[in-house]
Amino acid sequence: MTSSADLIEASERRSAHNYHPLPVVIHEAHGAWVTDVEGKRYLDFLSGYSSLNFGHGNQKIVEAAQEQLKNLTLTSRAFYHDQFARFCAGLGDLTGKDMILPMNTGAEAVETAIKVARKWGYQVKGVEPEQADIIVMEDNFHGRTTTIVSFSTDPDARGDFGPYTPGFTVVKYGSAEAVRTAIGPNTVAVLVEPIQGEAGVLVPPDGYLAQLREICTENNVLMIADEIQSGLGRTGKTFACDHEGVVPDVYVLGKALGGGVVPVSAIAANEDVLGVIKPGQHGSTFGGNPLACAVGNAVIDLLNTGEFQERAARLGDVLHARLRELIGDGVVTVRGRGLWAGVDVDPSLATGREVSKALLARGVLAKDTHGSTIRLAPPIVISEEDLLWAVDQLADAIASFR
């Protein structure tokens, strides 16, 4: 078998360097564990940025995919297929919304929400043509398309990709007052991550989402929650908005909706919003395809049991209690909710990447974000014993830099 080193060198030689992967070449994975090409096992503490909430090779999801592969994989939306109605009804019921618009990747779903909000603004709210404005947050991460990076505040994500799409106002994350002040007659939507994932698992102050909900309602502005990373069980509830009893006008979903098998994304909204889209105005060849819907249906079935939400909440308490013990011991702060944590390591000790590499050497896969922050998001199927073992490895990894 070709060695990890050879495969890494060959990958780097012929691929664009748009990522900076850790030096591990994964060959197979089950549950929370992955195995590299040399047979070494690692505990997955990243879960494909929350795409693998239900674990690698989840039996119910894989069986649904295998069954569907035998029957029908693609029709395009030129025709109906027999998985589509169930997917839309299932996701509609899970979100409590009338309608679903399926896409593939997260960025596409965010783009969809932006287009829907603008059209709603012109056709329903009565905003002057070409004047629609969407309020977004500092340090947001909503994907990589040209429109989305236009309102990013991260120089790496945005730099030299102009000219930029207009129509966005950036305000401070966590300040409802900043949103209230920024709203004008042309504001059609507020786009928010209920917890900012890429920014370092930043949890806004209590009551923030509820206040945004109130401000949006008062001003006839759509509240769009990007739950692509925070949703579908990760935080201990189906949606992170549920922690404040908030129902946004538009849910944006992706990642775990594809069960770690295929890219599946969607937006969910009521008919008075999503009904503005008519034939020919938006779509995707692959969005809502039979394989994606069959996988999505299996994911929705798993979420409907409530088991994963409950498990993420219970194990999340265990994770955060243990991580808090590391504060002062090389860890500056710990944030997060459920099985999702951002750990700020003392920057005088090591960078996030150095800690991630030390974790890799100890058999744990995690990834840094911005400076000295490590992001932890194990699959929800992880055992308590494995969870605690991984935090021990983190403590040991940090200690190795003293």
Rounded Cα distance, 233 and 241, in Å: 11
| Maximal C-alpha separation, the chain | 63
Q: Which residue, judged by CB position, is nearest to ligand PLP in the bound state?
A: 106
**Residue 162: how many CB atoms within 10 A of its CB?**
10
Pairing assessment for the beta strands 168-171 and 133-137 based on DSSP bridges: parallel
**Footprint (CB under 6 A) of ligand PLP, residues 34-73:** 49
244 is a contact residue toward ligand PLP (CB under 6 A): no
The smaller minimum CB distance to ligand PLP, of residues 224 and 394, is found at: 224
Report d(CA 47, CA 25) in Å as an integer. Answer: 15
255 is catalytic: yes
Q: What is the C-alpha to C-alpha distance for residues 197 and 163, in angstroms, rounded to an integer?
A: 26
Structure letter (DSSP) for residue 371: T
Token pair, residue 289, equals 């395809």
167 binds ligand PLP (CB under 6 A): no
Using rule CB under 6 A, residue 260 touches ligand PLP: no
Q: Which of 43, 60, 64, 189 lies closest to 116 in space, CA to CA? A: 189
Q: Which is nearer to ligand PLP, 195 or 358 (CB)?
A: 195
66-74, 81-89, 167-175, 224-232 -> range binding ligand PLP (CB under 6 A)? 224-232
Q: Does position 373 bind ligand PLP by CB under 6 A?
A: no
Q: Is 112 in the site for ligand PLP (CB under 6 A)?
A: no
Between 27 and 282, name the residue whose CB sits nearer to ligand PLP: 282
237 is catalytic: no
Which C-beta is closer to ligand PLP: that of 107 or that of 216? 107
CA distance 223 to 216: 6
Smallest distance from ligand PLP to CB 195, Å: 9
Considering the complex, what minimum distance in angstroms separates the CB of residue 198 from ligand PLP? 6
Task: Give the separation between CA 142 and CA 145, rounded to whole angstroms.
Answer: 9
| Residue 121 within binding range of ligand PLP, rule CB under 6 A | no
The Cα–Cα gap between 120 and 84 comes to 25
Which of 87, 81, 119, 116 is closest to 100 using CA atoms?
87
User: Which string of x and - marks every residue 327-356 that binds ligand PLP (by CB under 6 A)?
Assistant: ------------------------------
**Interaction of residue 394 with ligand PLP, rule CB under 6 A:** no
As annotated, the active-site residues are 141, 226, 255
Summarize as ranges the residues that interact with ligand PLP (CB under 6 A): 49, 105-107, 110, 141-143, 193, 197-198, 226, 228-229, 254
